[in-house]
Structure 1
């Protein structure tokens, strides 16, 4: 048997909370062989990420205590000095973090940040490092890599920022890659490519992978062995095929039963709640379809929306080209309806959502919320409009003030809109409804897991009981069981309040479950739009077919089946200054179902 790349024995991690040590991770023991992939799965807050941070010695000083043994190349990492650990991090162990904006410096270009790693650990010159960075960005499928070298992180979509982090982690070809939810922010086609890339590097370099995820489809696709964690403990360990075929622990059965499966809804017209899962048997009966709440009232109307970003180059940083992020997009959304916006990262989904609330200023078009034209409103009057339209952002940590308790953050919209009298009671109710304890209102964002922070952001968006919610990857960071709870909550609120949702997502199985209609975006344009059942059961555009074919299947015996069509080169949305976008034509497939010709 080969010598493990890393061997973890009796790892215990505790945090100093309210005057005492609180155990978070209990007696974790595992090893990873060369070229092997070990997946750790479990609910948010189960200790998955804390296990990874303990191995990397990245937990805060005196407020965290890590005990046990972590052997890498014969050295116990827990006994190394900080200087010695700095040489290990990035060089021998690479790590892809869950939230890219917490790891990327917002004021430095992405090219400089990756080059810094290469110059520090591989001793490359500035010129050689720049050439290597461009190669790495090409490898993780960043379009026009050389042109984007000098862009700062805010010019990238969430999925593209995650690809930058992957390029940075792989820069020094480490022996071990710790991947903490590395594909959470990515659409299914890019996810497939990233998983292929990780496997390719494993073969070339003998690299091992510790893969932390809540996506059981990804686990089935990439992991040789799987550890299931619950409440800080490993409750089941085994070969991935054995864990899926015959789960022994009730919690493992619950996890597997809660995974949404593409095509499971058939021809039903409306969204469908997730059913409660029996934790003892793991059995579930699919919940009934939600009652039809779609009303004739139009809450949102978007016509011919255009959003573009300038690209500057040269010594004087002149505008030389433009990113056509959103190009002539039109759709309407009624009260009680969910329209899902799907497509690859960088296709313009998030830009569309942000443009609707004028968080990004569109170049042209029309946006009406409850009949009120938004683009003609002075900026000083936008606050009153946002009382009726709220957004749940993709990156929860970036949208929460780290110095503000979560209770204060949730109550802030109520204070701004003169509803402070009921703030305390409302905060407690909202935290309970999104699956958190009301007494957590006194904690700060860094004291929560990524999934818990996303639930806090959902609670804040619901505080003012808006008519329209733009949910930008609002459940992508959640494990399957919590995701089911949050989606059920959103559907229940929609039924009772006739909320309109613009649901931006790359998770096709979730989109199938929650949406009334689906719009597929590609390179800033809607290429297909129609009722959910029509688009999923009778996709017409080649790109829609590619998206559906790339969805991972939660079955290890079918590993690799989803790759068909997933390796096609991504075209660039960057255009010359004199480019004139063609006027697109659409063909009617069936009532309400249109496809771009």
Structure 2
């Protein structure tokens, strides 16, 4: 029976049936329900997606099914039928046998799920020995077979390697191999691709589809990404504030969504190719989750007429020495940035795109001189940043500011957000304490928050609000250039849309220039005037956004675009066959000589490495 047949055959009993599930947490001595009256089922060979933003209750639902919530602080009511048994009634000893044998789970962050002190092979073998009667030799052979199955290259030779030796995508493959060890009937995948680069995400989605077809496993897929839902789910459950607000066939959900919140999620999905024919960046339409009415998308700032660039980077090089052995001898160098050159006009957005390890974040930090490059030049407003002394560098940072990926790690948890925003203003002696308070109130309102929020601490804000606080802090010194390093990659889809709209609004009103660092090609297409594609520390293609997206020339650019999830449910059984090769290492021998690079001009401003 094929996957589609299994999903549509009503005579089959469901693998999982959740009925009136309500999960509550003990808060201040009272039980507070966070998941209310949820019901759904998963049929044999079917993929059901639970979709919603952070705080919607989707992960709590999956942990309730696995009975992994802390007993004394949580209460689960209703029925969870698995294999004809209500697993909520099972003693813990029986539930331990259910986990792994009947149902297995893949978590979002594989590095925290894998024990760094044990080898990959030992950890998968342990799962096999716990659940299946076999010897250690048989477990090792089965582990190697599973690693092969999840497309780990040279599986036998990697049996004795530790998790830190694997890339993020390969670690997630190991987690899938471990989950499949006992051939469970149901696989729960909780945001398994959220933290991954777009090409690695494409590989993992293809892998789950292949394994599902080969093993006939049912999948409960938890995500906030509607593009991923369209690619993988037969049926979809949309959750909002602990309730299932819409359930149905994925195609019906996408084409005929009834609930305003579902329409809001769908409107916020960046669609690759949606900017064709549009010369300028475009705001996302934001739908009010109460009324369901969208606002009108507005074009972002147009590129300023040809003038002197506000930022010029030429032949920038940054290498990290690797020392090893008792004497700490030089063993090699990581060529993080190699002869990177580009310019940025006032009021323009240039996006640096590529996978993790390509050098894009190192480029941003080198330009800010948070790390010291070996050679090259960075000219800001006609002044060489790399030649500046400490005092001049301090003044430079009034003109160029940075927004980091993780807003929680960027803010001092012991400092109110008002104090955090005022700190650079006061440090640079731009005004008095009273003027700083007025500036903070103005900035908070400019980024869509209330002035009275200045007295709150970072933990009292959501992820999207914290990123707005970081943007307000970056604006405190009235900069002309902002380096945005993966500043929206950790945000839910609708919050991402709101923050991007804010950045575009600020660009239009203040004339800001952005160096936008990202691996999300669909977002990059939406916000950019020009795009530079990085691979192994080098820019392999650069040009106007329309040229890069409508006429990509470099194989790596085409690979990045092919991996973007497309929000079209009619394609959910198709596979993109994204190459499963790991990105090559930028580490080179100490005597390595970098080959001279040549570029071919495709059009007036479009260049590709040959």
Same fold (TM over 0.5): yes
Residue 94 (structure 1) shift: 4.9
> Within 2, Cα distance between the matches of 1:81 and 1:479?
37
**Secondary structure in structure 1 of the residue aligned to 2:62:** helix
1:441-480 equivalent positions in 2, closer than 5 A? 454-480=467-493
Q: How many residue pairs are counted as aligned between the two chains?
A: 587
Q: Quick check: 2:121–2:160 contact (8 Å CA) kept in 1? A: no
* CA contact 2:119–2:162 (8 Å) conserved in 1: no
Q: 1:364/1:20 Cα in 2 relative to 1: closer, same or farther (>3 Å)?
A: farther
Matched, 1:222 2:232: yes
What SS does the corresponding residue of 1:298 show, helix, strand or coil?
Answer: coil
8 Å CA contact 2:533, 2:540 repeated in 1: yes
Tell me, yes or no, if the aligned pair for 2:337 and 2:359 is still in contact at 8 Å. yes
Distance apart, 1:493 and its partner CA:
0.7
In the alignment, does 2:346 pair up with 1:343? no
SS at match of 2:579: coil
Please say which of residues 248-257 and 52-61 is displaced more in the overlay: 52-61
1:330 CA displacement: 1.0
Q: 2:336 is matched with which residue: 315, 325, 329?
A: 325
Residue 356 of structure 1 pairs with residue 367 of structure 2: yes
* Cα deviation 1:296-332 (Å, max 9, x = unaligned): 3533322222233455677888654443332221111
Once the two structures are TM-superposed, the CA of residue 39 in structure 1 deviates from its matched residue by 1.1
Superposition pairs for residues 416-565 of structure 1, below 5 Å? 417=428, 421=434, 454-559=467-572, 563=576
Q: Specify the alignment match of 1:118 in structure 2.
A: 124
Cα–Cα, structure 1 residues 347 and 224, in superposed 2: closer, same or farther, change >3 Å? same
CA contact (8 A) 1:216 1:554 kept: yes
Q: 2:416 and 2:91 mapped to 1: Cα distance?
A: 33
Whether 2:281 is the aligned partner of 1:274: answer no
Residue 569 (structure 1) aligns with:
581
Local SS of the residue matching 2:490: coil
User: CA 1:318–1:459 in structure 2 vs 1: closer, same or farther (change >3 Å)?
Assistant: same
After TM superposition, give the deviation of residue 237 of structure 1 in Å: 0.5
168, 171, 189: which one aligns with 2:178: 171
Aligned pairs (5 A) from 1:118-157: 118=124, 120-123=126-129, 136=147, 139=150, 149=161, 152=164
Inter-CA distance 44–302: structure 2 relative to 1 (3 Å threshold)? same
Whole-angstrom distance in 2 between the partners of 1:366 and 1:225: 54
Check whether the contact 2:121–2:161 (CA below 8 A) recurs between aligned residues: no
**TM-score, structure 1 normalization:** 0.82
Q: Is the CA contact (8 Å cut-off) linking 2:485 and 2:518 kept in structure 1?
A: yes
**Maintained 8 Å contact 2:416/2:455:** yes
The answer to whether the aligner puts 1:584 opposite 2:609 as a matched pair is: no
Quick check: 12-21 or 576-585, which moved more?
A: 12-21
Could you tell me which runs of 5 or more consecutive residues in structure 2 were left unpaired when the two chains were aligned.
1-10, 130-134
| CA-to-aligned-CA distance 1:68-126 (integer Å, 9 cap, x gap) | 4445556666567888877777786554544667x379xx85x8474564365345979
Distance 2:363 2:317 in 1: 9
Q: Normalization by structure 2: what TM-score?
A: 0.80
Q: Residue 342 of structure 1: CA displacement?
A: 1.5
Deviation at 1:592, TM superposition (A): 1.4
Query: Is the CA contact 2:45–2:219 (under 8 Å) kept in the aligned structure 1?
Result: yes
Unmatched 5+ stretches in structure 1: none
RMSD: 4.4
Q: Is the 8 A contact 1:517 1:529 kept in 2?
A: yes
Give the Å deviation of 1:594: 1.0
Distance in 2 (alpha carbons) for counterparts of 1:57 and 1:433: 44
User: Is the 1:45–1:452 contact (alpha carbons within 8 Å) kept by the matching residues of 2?
Assistant: no
**Alpha-carbon distance between aligned partners in 1 of 2:277 and 2:413, rounded to the nearest angstrom:** 45
SS for the counterpart of 2:180 is: coil
Residue 256 (structure 2) pairs with residue 246 (structure 1): yes
Q: How far off is 1:532 after superposition?
A: 1.0
Local SS of the residue matching 2:533: strand
Whether the 8 Å CA contact 1:275–1:284 is kept in 2: the answer is yes
Cα displacement (A) at 1:583:
1.2
Change (3 A) 1:421 1:511: same
Contact 2:120–2:159 (8 Å) recurs in 1:
no
Distance 2:449 2:102 in 1: 38
Contact 1:122 1:172 in 2 (8 A): no
Does 2:401 correspond to 1:394? no
Equivalent position SS for 1:192: helix
> How far did 1:51 drift?
2.9
SS at match of 1:496: helix
Instruction: Judge which range, 142-151 or 49-58, deviates more.
Output: 142-151
Q: CA deviation at 1:149?
A: 4.9
8 Å contact kept, 2:464–2:499 = no
Are the structure 2 counterparts of residues 449 and 232 from structure 1 closer, same or farther at C-alpha, using a change threshold of 3 Å? farther
What is the CA distance between 1:491 and its match in structure 2?
A: 0.6
